A = this chain, B = another copy of it.
Amino acid sequence: MAPRLVEVRQNILKHNDVVARALRARFDANHVRVISLVSSPGSGKTMLLERLLSILHKRHRVAALVGDLATENDAARLARSGAAVRQITTGTICHLEAAMVEQALDGWALDQLDFLFLENVGNLVCPASYDLGEHLRCVILSVTEGEDKPLKYPTIFNTADVAVITKIDLASAVEFDRAGLERNIHTVRPGMRTLAVSAKTGEGMGELVAFLEHGTA
**Chain B residues near A12 (CB, 8 Å)?**
1, 5
**Counting CB contacts under 8 A, is A206 at the interface?**
no
**Chain B residues near A42 (CB, 8 Å)?**
40, 42-43, 141-142, 144-146, 149
* Structural contact, A126 and B124, CB atoms closer than 8 A: no
Distance of A136 from chain B, by nearest CB (Å): 22
Residues of A within 8 A of B (CB): 1, 4-5, 8, 11-12, 15, 40-44, 68-71, 73-74, 92, 94, 121-126, 129, 141-142, 144-146, 148-149, 151-155, 167, 170, 173-174
Q: How far is the CA of A40 from the CA of B173 in the complex (A)?
A: 20
- Given A8-B4, A170-B170, A173-B173, the answer on whether A154 and B70 have CB atoms closer than 8 Å is yes
Distance of A40 from chain B, by nearest CB (Å): 5
Q: What are 29 sample pairs from A and B whose C-beta atoms fall under 8 A apart?
A: A1-B11, A4-B8, A5-B12, A8-B8, A40-B40, A40-B122, A42-B144, A42-B145, A42-B146, A68-B152, A69-B153, A69-B154, A69-B155, A70-B154, A71-B148, A71-B151, A71-B152, A73-B151, A74-B152, A92-B129, A94-B123, A94-B125, A121-B125, A123-B124, A126-B126, A142-B144, A144-B144, A170-B170, A170-B173
